[in-house]
Copies of this chain bind each other. A is one copy, B any other.
Amino acid sequence: MEIVEFRPEREQYAYTFGGVAPVMKVRPGTVLRLWTDDAFGGALRSVTDLPSEKLTMPFVNPQTGPFYVEGAEPGDALALHLASLAPARSFGASSTIPFFGGLTSTDHTATLQDPLPERTWIYEVDTARGTVGFEAHSSDLRLELPMDPMLGTVGVAPGAGEARSSLVPDAFGGNMDTPEMRAGVTCYLPVNVTGALFSVGDGHYRQGEGEACGTAVEGAMDVTLIVDLIKGGAPGWPRIESDDYLTVVGSARPLEDAWRISQAGMVAWLRALYGLDKMDAYQLLSQVSESPLANVVDANYSATSKVPKALLPRRDAYDGMHRHLRGVAREKLAVA
Contacts and interface: CB of A to CB of B under 8 A. Distances in A.
Interface of A: 15-16, 18-20, 58-59, 94, 96, 102-105, 107-117, 119, 121, 134, 136-139, 141, 143, 145-146, 160-165, 206-217, 236, 250, 252-257, 259-261, 263-265, 267, 274-280, 282-293, 296, 301, 303, 305, 311-313
Contacts of A263: 102-103, 110, 210, 212
B252 A19 contact: no
Contacts of A20: 161
Contacts of A217: 287
A160 B274 CA distance: 42
A280 to B, nearest CB: 4
Contacts of A256: 102, 253-255, 296, 301
B134 A284 contact: yes
Most B Cβ at <10 Å: residue of A20, A256, A301, A303:
A256
Contact of A259 (B94, B257, B296): B296
Contacts of A264: 103, 110-112
B19 A280 contact: no
A254 B255 contact: yes
A180 to B, nearest CB: 12
A169 to B, nearest CB: 13
Given A110-B264, A138-B280, A278-B112, A289 B103 contact: no
